[in-house]
Amino acid sequence: MEPFSEPIYITRPVLPDLDRVVDRLRDVWGSKCLTNMGDQHGFLERKLREVLKVPGLSLFNNGTTALIAACKVLELKGEVITTPFTFPATAHALVWNGITPVFCDIDPETLNIDAGKIEDLITSETTAILPVHVFGTPCDVGKIQAIADQHGLKVIYDAAHAFGVEINGRGIGTFGDISMFSFHATKLFHTAEGGALTYNDPGFRKKIYYARNFGIKNEEEVVDIGVNGKMNEIQAALGVVVLDYVEEEKEKRKKLEAIYRRCLGGVEGVSFLSEISGVEKSYQYFVVKIDEDAFGVSRDEVYEKLKGYNVFTRKYFYPLCSNYSCYKDFSSTGVDVLPVANKVVKQTLSMPFYGGLAIEDVEKICNMVKLCRK
């Protein structure tokens, strides 16, 4: 089969009509305010509160800074239980706060933290649970909250992939104490770089404000040790325009997902992630699992062979955080204590998935996957 003439990546950013972005930037120029919580910032915060169905939302310059700030606001210390199957930012945010990440194994169907294994990891040092809604699939929020309540722990969700996810009509950002969203260029909704924290408790708004703005209260008072986590007006203006394209992008992705499911559904050794009833999905990623024994070739071979066809998939989230050189000496990182994560991370492959792909492109990619078999 002929390779694609142009490289196909796992994603391409939603790029709105440039004239519309320029129009919005004219407003920014007119205001002479480029950052420090101007009109675009305020407008985007209000819009996102509605779209995400959350009572409280504070914008940040990226998701990682937002997560670091959330740990500070919740005054976490000691140990926090999290997942090894995630992007480095999740665990790093803890260590930047002087906290020890304790890695918990994952559920093989959802790839999220296995809520049934959390309690065994709780010690007198544990202050919180930091689960990730991996690839936008919601965690077992009910069970996680029950554990947190019983042991007096905080819950921060890394919802970087979960834009627009709802459980029975409830915004995903309303679960736990605080949730973090990423608005990086690779996300369904983006501001080039950006992020947000969402929360139910209105008391967090001021604390988060200080955490992202040097702790400045007024010209003469600095009341907390904050960072510079502010989203600027150009990012916010871009976000306001991108937001208008999200539903259309989601519809396109829904159609592409249906093609993947139809073309790869019956293929032995290829499986998809579990779907949960009552969940409005994010359509952020489309991930397959390759079982080497049943499929005949490994995930790594599929990844390499697809490159030969000019298709650049990603092995998210390989390697596991627990296997990074900076974490491998932590006590919770052994392969024996994280058997599911260490197995699954060799099987998952994030496929090209963005509205700019044609249905024929996805059909061709699926045929290429089938041709990878020996």
Closest distance to ligand T4K from the beta carbon of 131 (Å): 10
Place of tokens 């592409």: 256
**Binding string to ligand T4K for residues 14 to 53, with x set by CB under 6 A, is what?**
----------------------------------------
**Does residue 59 bind ligand T4K (CB under 6 A)?**
no
The end-to-end CA distance of the chain, in Å, is: 15
Question: Taking CB under 6 A as the rule, does residue 58 contact ligand T4K?
Answer: no
Nearest approach, Cβ of residue 157 and ligand T4K (Å): 10
Residues 231 to 290: which contact ligand T4K by CB under 6 A?
none
CB of 130 to ligand T4K, least distance (A): 10
Integer Cα distance of 87 and 322 in angstroms: 11
Task: Choose which of 58, 83, 86, 174 interacts with ligand T4K (CB under 6 A).
Answer: 86
Helices (H), the chain: 18-31, 39-51, 63-73, 88-95, 141-151, 204-212, 233-243, 246-264, 292-295, 299-308, 339-344, 359-371
Q: Nearest Cα to 181, choosing from 346, 52, 23?
A: 52
SS3 350: strand
Rule CB under 6 A: is residue 310 a binding residue for ligand T4K? Answer: no
Least distance (Å) between residue 190 CB and ligand T4K = 9
Which residues sit opposite 82 in a β-bridge? Answer: 103, 130
Query: Which of the stretches 27-35, 100-108, 156-164, 363-371 binds ligand T4K when contact is defined by CB under 6 A?
Result: 156-164
Provide the minimum distance between the beta carbon of 42 and ligand T4K in the complex, in angstroms, as a whole number.
21
Q: Please give the residues from 125 up to 154 whose contact with ligand T4K meets the rule CB under 6 A.
A: 132
| Phi, psi (deg, nearest 5) at residue 157 | -95, 135
Q: Which of 54, 74, 76, 87 binds ligand T4K (CB under 6 A)?
A: 87
Give which of 163, 210, 165, 194 is closest to 59, Cα–Cα: 194
Nearer to ligand T4K, 24 or 92 (CB): 92
Residue of 100, 186, 271, 310 that binds ligand T4K (CB under 6 A): 186
What is the rounded CA–CA span in Å between residue 30 and residue 79? 48
Peptide bond into 319 cis (omega under 30): yes
Query: Is 189 among the residues that bind ligand T4K (CB under 6 A)?
Result: no
Q: Does 175 bind ligand T4K (CB under 6 A)?
A: no
Measure Cα distances from 50 to 110, 163, 164, 242, 320 in Å: 28, 12, 10, 15, 35
Alpha-carbon dihedral sign for residues 316, 318, 324, 328: positive
**Is 77 a residue that touches ligand T4K (CB under 6 A)?**
no
Q: Which residues bind ligand T4K (CB under 6 A)?
A: 9-13, 62-64, 86-87, 89-90, 132, 158, 160-161, 182, 184-186, 195, 312, 316
